[in-house]
Amino acid sequence: MSLILKILSYLFLSAGVQCVHQVSWLPCEFTDEHVFVNNDGHTETQLVPRQAMLQFGQTGDAPVNPHAITFLITGSKVDLRRYIEGAEAEQLECELRRYSTEGIHVRWPVMGARDYNRWFSCTLRHTKGLFTVTSFLRHPSDQPPPGQQDYRKWPPIGDKEILTTTVAMVIKSQTPSVRAGLGSQQKLHCQFAVDHKGPDITVEWDWQHRGEKSRLFSHTSRTGQNQGSGVGLRGLAGGDASYTLPFTKMSSEGTYSCSVSVNPLFFKLDINLQIEEPPRVSLNMGSTLSLLEGEDQRVSCDAEGYYPLDVKIDWYVQDPAALGQRVGAPLPKLLENVLLSSHKHNKDKTYSLTAFFYLRASLRDSGKQFTCSVSHQSLRVPIKKSFILTVEEPTSWTFYLIGFIVVLLVIILFMLLGYLHSERKRSVQKKPY
């Protein structure tokens, strides 16, 4: 019995700790709208930022900040806090706006719902770009909508008003911005949930880039019709509308839009996919370069196959005495006489660039390390390639001349000795006995 009590106590404490870390309220910016007709007879909209609070609780709860507009979110089948789990309150940016149904009036099909609703959108963004969550807040109202577009005559909201709402629909992406290399597989995350079963829902994926636009996928639950591919139908039934790119190409770059609509609500979630290909860096020599003093050498650093265009190539030189120092070593010196080639556009639409300079060998530079540093937005740290310069003093021509003369004299001496020896031998043979 005591063991069961310990287990129950542990579960209770665990649940309590989890509740402690749940976000209970958030400061938000409520962007209100003031619509009016200007002097020219045109309708204009003035955006009015107002202080607001997003508060989770129950009907009748006191506001956390009584001096701000309170959007009190009460319980529904869609728990907004579940979609921001793991994030602290200070990591979330909150934005609230009115939502126009464009004159469409539909009774929201949930238990106990009234005939009329006022709608608001709430967008929560992680400050580090980990996710974006947009929800639709339903505020029941006894006042029927005006006989015109609702945005032309928004109902006023007081500075300290409490709006009791429920979450009707939520859409989340864990990939609001994607950086992908060529030839990789990418899953563009799009998740949704609605507060009632069997909604008449439409899901669409579109791609757009530099004026081009195409429909990638569409699904309508009412007819069961599907067009295109990339979205798993089994996952779609559970609210997973993620789109999969099996093989990224340069033409895959652009804005991918996941659209989810349940009448009268519609939301389009944009996901920006950018191709980033890191450069391949190489030098036109090995790890060492040996030259004679006064000799000239073209030294080049090639950055190849990178995308997008911007790349930075620098050449540095470091004194040999500083290479082994860990503390107090002078910083490498940036070379000023570096030239850049024009950007080469490769067949796969990547780019290449060469940074080069002409090195005149000097004995004072012998042992120095020359480093090429390549920076690109696809790299966390620059790619560096280095070589050590060795300079040798050229052998003097005087030394060669003296050596040649000495060798020539030795040869002549041996020839003379041979001649004298042969003459002496001949004179001995002619003597009479």
Q: What local confidence, expressed as pLDDT, does residue 275 receive?
A: 96
The pairing of beta strand 296-306 with beta strand 280-283: antiparallel
Classify burial at 94, counting beta carbons within 10 Å of its beta carbon; exposed 0-12, middle 13-18, buried 19 or more: buried
The pairing of beta strand 339-340 with beta strand 351-360: antiparallel
Mean pLDDT of all residues belonging to the chain: 88
The predicted-structure confidence for 242-296, as pLDDT tens digits, reads as follows 999 999 999 999 999 999 999 999 999 999 999 999 999 999 999 999 999 999 9
Residue 22 pLDDT greater than 90, yes or no: no
Residue in this structure with the two tokens 């939520």, named with its chain if needed: 170
The stretch 162-186 carries a mean pLDDT of 96
Confidence of residue 431 (pLDDT cuts 50, 70, 90): low
d(CA 169, CA 190): 13
Q: What local confidence, expressed as pLDDT, does residue 226 receive?
A: 93
Q: What local confidence, expressed as pLDDT, does residue 6 receive?
A: 41
The pairing of beta strand 243-245 with beta strand 288-292: unpaired
Classify burial at 411, counting beta carbons within 10 Å of its beta carbon; exposed 0-12, middle 13-18, buried 19 or more: exposed
Q: What local confidence, expressed as pLDDT, does residue 38 receive?
A: 86
Domain 21-275 sits in CATH at 2.60.40.10
Residue 16 pLDDT greater than 50, yes or no: no
Q: What local confidence, expressed as pLDDT, does residue 98 receive?
A: 95
At residue 393, what are phi and psi to the nearest 5 degrees?
-75, 130
In CATH terms, 280-392 corresponds, of 3.40.720.10, 3.40.640.10, 3.30.1310.10, 2.60.40.10, to 2.60.40.10
The predicted-structure confidence for 337-377, as pLDDT tens digits, reads as follows 999 999 999 999 999 999 999 999 999 999 999 999 999 99
Q: What local confidence, expressed as pLDDT, does residue 102 receive?
A: 84
The predicted-structure confidence for 37-52, as pLDDT tens digits, reads as follows 888 888 888 899 999 9
* CATH 2.60.40.10 in the chain, residue ranges: 21-275, 280-392
Lowest-pLDDT choice from 138-152, 240-254, 267-281, 380-394? 138-152
